Structure 1
């Protein structure tokens, strides 16, 4: 028999005419929005409250979906008939169960997920516990989820994988369905690379996540940490939030999760909330309320918060008898020893505070250790004068946003720990260091003494953000970006062989005006250990001269090299020259022309930084150009060079802000150049000048993607070597490209004149 109040009832998603012809959204998370329990011998289904389930509810009303997850009971606790029954009931609610044995679930969930990943990602490395058995269980569980998803997905579906329990899943899905649109969102912090280095199986986990098309985090700091770890530990380059794998790219970005603003803002009109608020007032009387709401967890800083409140009562005795702390702690993971010990510590601290400061008519700390209904929670938010939200580390913290949304009256103060993910958004809060008891105590005093006019001003800074970027906006934003990332991934350059090569040669033969745009390093020649050692060989110079010798063909060398180098190397070939990634252009027979009027005053600040990194990193050097400064690490030890490049980029991005320059990463080089200068701008200028009916462009790294973007859709763009690209075609090496160019010369009836 099935009992319980389940929101995902039969047929809830059947009337979706607006979504006709659109693939389903397949959500994958550890838990389903409906969990099964056994009560008095009966299977009972209970709707999950809060979290992801409630956050996505409004989205799922408008879109066909399938939710894949663990149903709440292990296979050991279900007979075959009961498993069939659970699967059938869930299917009618657009859910698909992943059945795991008790030992599998314990090893995967309690062992690796919450014994290793949870503490490490929250910077509690001392609590980490790793075992090979737990890792194997984690792998098996992710494989079970992968089988369930791959058995269910249909063409056009979008898969959205959630959280740290399933970090291997995106790559498993990619291996089984290469064209599948896959997103991954991590709801907890992603720590710095120094902590990720402590993680056994770190490479497998990072590669697992990189199976997705889009990887999302709550805040940009986590994005930065992930990109840094991906580069250092897997060797994958990244640029402007995109990780470059061998055949595709992965977009990585921040999507700060929101809440259902209307539900909290309008809760005061509900009779149940008004009744709960009256009960709260009857309990505390005229005392002002400091509110703390958290799940039981060592990351929430509950003992530290109590210690700060105790210090507040000592330092500001005038508030004794006039202010109370209402501390709501929702039970969590009570079977784990560390959580039971934390509960005992909290109990003892509250007992000590109440015993030391309390009186017959005043209880300093009102302790609620239980789950609460929405009306009770809404009443607490509305009745509090101050919300004290000071986690030691938190991915986002929606409690802070729920409090802001609930303050429809315009009064109330939020005291927020600066390491909570929400701190960057909620700029009207009083920011505190959660480890600094004195600072937290002082902030409480400031909050309680704050004039109502300032309270209103601060809330007015936060409420519009919380309202406009709610949970529906968050989900829609992520899915829109996922769609965009999937479209970009679905484009793969075709290898330029056979029929494709023959068509290009035929197009070349027919064209009356041709423009050939060629990068140099890595495209026409191999990379050298030092930039000055990559001088063109005589065969290449002859090829370029012959290629551009006819009236129908104009050849352009479009390089990051300085113009003096291009003049010396290619001046006799008759080619047009583009230097410094588009900073300078020289048309055959004319002088050099700059593409920017901006100065280079920024070099004074940037040069010492690059020189410092060159001095500290063997095998690296600084190259000064007229419009750019470049730090080359081609000869550095690979891992050290990658680590320093990642660190340097972060320093330079901050340094470049407001200085009319930008940071660009190339193949084993980090360059700072004038803003707005790129190969694409130069390519567009030359295309407008020559008006060719055939454009052929070839390049090997990310700076050449700007050139490819400038080429008309019917142009012939060629990526040299591996890596994702917007180019139409790919050749394996510069030798293959040179062979193609020689073939074009040999097939050309106009290369003599």
Structure 2
């Protein structure tokens, strides 16, 4: 029976050694709560690091046995692994890069080597328990290489990946020397999820520009697989926070805290110590408020919780010192005998005390400089059971895309944050309740359990979509059937497109000439059947390349024909090219605007090439030109075709399908095979009789009966037919 394996850097428990015995403390995190509905079922399990360097073999066995009872399996990391892979590459390279803090990126080769090695450790741990068709859901930036490692070992497995931190723009990701390997690692998954559409968009851009993989509507064609990229905003366990706010323990803590603080408005800020959280900027905004508005003195306090993190790292030590200094200066400047502006806690708090903080605070100030999602703001909103409170939220947090009823601010704009605090303090009760109520309705609906369900449903959908493609993929039984029919046929014919079918694409189209292997394959094929090369290439190029071959050639999508026993080309279709001058002028305008683009003129068409153009810019200009030509085409009875890095305009009544039909007219062929790779070949496929074999190279949607992976596989198939 297939099982689901959850994989993350840390297990949802913390391992502690007490009195010589190992103890496990369960995580209270939202992810652990949501995924509990998966890994606790049936044979499912969770794989990850238990949170301590256990290097003694006997102790490792003991820990593994205990974790097995909890439906978990450990990946043991050494102190060196933790230092180089986790503290090093994960948190000193990926973390600053993905949060846009490029000044903190550490480009250490030793970190990268450790990162690769630990991802391999995780892969080995999974392979020890995984079956070939299991579902494996990998989480977060520490394991970016893992999906492709798993794909290579388990090609039929269902693999998902979710990133919980932001994904940066192409301009940032390109700075990393290992960008290609990281992206290739992620593309090993069937489904790749991010919190926001922006992250998804940045990823697709990077994959297109660095790996050269195009996408359509969030689907990437990666080798012979379809990969879906989508956004899934993560929720919280709403009921847990709403119920906790009303529990006796929380109410008791709340009363105690309120008695100590007296009658004043409270701002709450809760963060892990990190430069991405914008803590100093937030303190400065509060300082500005106190400086300008004496009427708030004694009436407003900030409860600031900073949870310790990476205390030995220089940049974090510097940040801690800056926060301490800012808080100390404000408190010494404004404090009175019965009022302290900032209640600063550098430590974590038990859940009930955090719940009390949320519940009793009037305003939550959540202003990270960059955050994948940020769940603190959602926890605050869920805890306001009286529906009275105000959320001030950074535009740079993923949650801002959902919580649009918060007061949204740019965290770098100190004056705007100060004004937001004033607006929150003076907001009418009806507006406060309306805003919180609206956000609560959204959070209640899109909670952590809904997030898990939607993600898993999407994963199922992607696999079904892949199978639609795979059902048309050429397999061994089909090849055997085809070869058998070919060898028994008395009058076989094979139609072959050239670029993208027999050869791969080249930056310079002139470099895609046939190599010796291809010429030998075509020669052998021509000795056993009628071979028709049907290409968009001009007749001069095609004629020169296959000058000595016994093949029929149809050039320029059906304009020219050259029989194997003829010296000269004959015009296969009458064409009027009076439209060319107007179209050429438009194309030349786009060439001038697009370095690397050029125009190819054929007898019946004009082709705008952009293979040499900077990735992204070429697509943009092509879309502009496509729209422009579409408009002009209607007045000239022309057709605009989008090919592989080309845009071609021609008469609609001239196409490969019409040419192929005309060629076969009057002859009874008992075996017909047509191979092509783009939309111009769809006309050929449509024109073929029902009992033909029509095969599209690549895994796009097609009128063809079957798909084949690439030109290399095409050559293998043709070689089998003639061997």
Query: What range describes the TM-score normalised by the shorter chain of this pair?
Result: 0.7 to 0.9
The alignment partner of 1:75 has SS state of coil
Q: Which residue of 2 aligns with 1:236?
A: 213
Structure 2 CA distance for aligned equivalents of residues 205 and 459 of structure 1:
40
CA contact (8 A) 1:718 1:731 kept: no
Question: Which sits farther off after the overlay, 495-504 or 321-330?
Answer: 495-504
Cα offset, 1:612, TM superposition: 7.8
CA contact (8 A) 1:427 1:461 kept: no
Question: Which sits farther off after the overlay, 87-96 or 641-650?
Answer: 641-650
Q: Which residue of 1 aligns with 2:614?
A: 641
The alignment partner of 2:128 has SS state of helix
Cα offset, 1:424, TM superposition: 1.1
Question: Which sits farther off after the overlay, 230-239 or 388-397?
Answer: 230-239
Structure 2 CA distance for aligned equivalents of residues 213 and 705 of structure 1:
27
Structure 2 CA distance for aligned equivalents of residues 361 and 727 of structure 1:
81
**1:105/1:710 Cα in 2 relative to 1: closer, same or farther (>3 Å)?**
farther
Structure 2 CA distance for aligned equivalents of residues 671 and 192 of structure 1:
32
Alignment of 1:437-516 (within 5 A): 437-489=414-466, 491=470, 493-494=473-474, 498-502=479-483
Structure 2 CA distance for aligned equivalents of residues 507 and 408 of structure 1:
79
Alignment of 1:157-172 (within 5 A): 157-172=134-149
Structure 2 CA distance for aligned equivalents of residues 150 and 285 of structure 1:
58
Cα offset, 1:714, TM superposition: 10
1:43 aligns with 2:22: yes
1:52 aligns with 2:31: yes
**1:193/1:481 Cα in 2 relative to 1: closer, same or farther (>3 Å)?**
same
CA contact (8 A) 2:283 2:327 kept: yes
The alignment partner of 2:615 has SS state of helix
User: What value does the CA root-mean-square deviation take over the aligned residues?
Assistant: 4.9
**1:70/1:731 Cα in 2 relative to 1: closer, same or farther (>3 Å)?**
closer
1:74 aligns with 2:47: no
CA contact (8 A) 1:113 1:165 kept: yes
Q: Which residue of 2 aligns with 1:364?
A: 341
Structure 1 CA distance for aligned equivalents of residues 112 and 498 of structure 2:
47
- In structure 2, stretches of 5+ residues that fail to align are 513-521, 538-553, 562-572, 574-584, 629-639, 650-654, 656-670
- In structure 1, stretches of 5+ residues that fail to align are 1-20, 511-515, 548-555, 560-565, 574-588, 590-606, 656-662, 673-678, 680-693, 744-753
The alignment partner of 1:312 has SS state of helix
Match of 1:218 among 195, 208, 212: 195
Match of 2:389 among 412, 423, 426: 412
Cα offset, 1:165, TM superposition: 0.7
Match of 1:322 among 292, 296, 299: 299
The alignment partner of 2:408 has SS state of strand
Cα offset, 1:43, TM superposition: 2.1
The alignment partner of 1:441 has SS state of helix
Alignment of 1:534-549 (within 5 A): none
Structure 2 CA distance for aligned equivalents of residues 720 and 59 of structure 1:
39
**1:704/1:226 Cα in 2 relative to 1: closer, same or farther (>3 Å)?**
farther
The alignment partner of 2:17 has SS state of strand
1:382 aligns with 2:359: yes
TM-score by length of 2: 0.76
Once the two structures are superposed, residues 601-655 of structure 1 have per-residue CA deviations (whole angstroms, 9 ceiling, x without a partner) of xxxxxx99x988643432325899xxxx996413x2xxx4324236668999999
Structure 1 CA distance for aligned equivalents of residues 192 and 432 of structure 2:
37
Structure 2 CA distance for aligned equivalents of residues 381 and 654 of structure 1:
53
1:93 aligns with 2:70: yes
Structure 1 CA distance for aligned equivalents of residues 75 and 688 of structure 2:
48
**1:41/1:182 Cα in 2 relative to 1: closer, same or farther (>3 Å)?**
same
Cα offset, 1:204, TM superposition: 1.2
Q: Which residue of 2 aligns with 1:206?
A: 183
CA contact (8 A) 1:228 1:646 kept: no
Q: Which residue of 2 aligns with 1:29?
A: 8
Cα offset, 1:368, TM superposition: 2.1
**1:186/1:631 Cα in 2 relative to 1: closer, same or farther (>3 Å)?**
farther
CA contact (8 A) 2:265 2:299 kept: yes
Once the two structures are superposed, residues 473-519 of structure 1 have per-residue CA deviations (whole angstroms, 9 ceiling, x without a partner) of 11122222222323444527216874241477699999xxxxx9999
Match of 1:396 among 356, 359, 373: 373
Once the two structures are superposed, residues 414-433 of structure 1 have per-residue CA deviations (whole angstroms, 9 ceiling, x without a partner) of 11111111111111111111
Alignment of 1:712-731 (within 5 A): 717-720=694-697, 728-730=706-708
CA contact (8 A) 2:14 2:50 kept: yes
CA contact (8 A) 1:393 1:420 kept: yes
**1:623/1:371 Cα in 2 relative to 1: closer, same or farther (>3 Å)?**
farther
CA contact (8 A) 2:10 2:51 kept: yes
TM-score by length of 1: 0.73
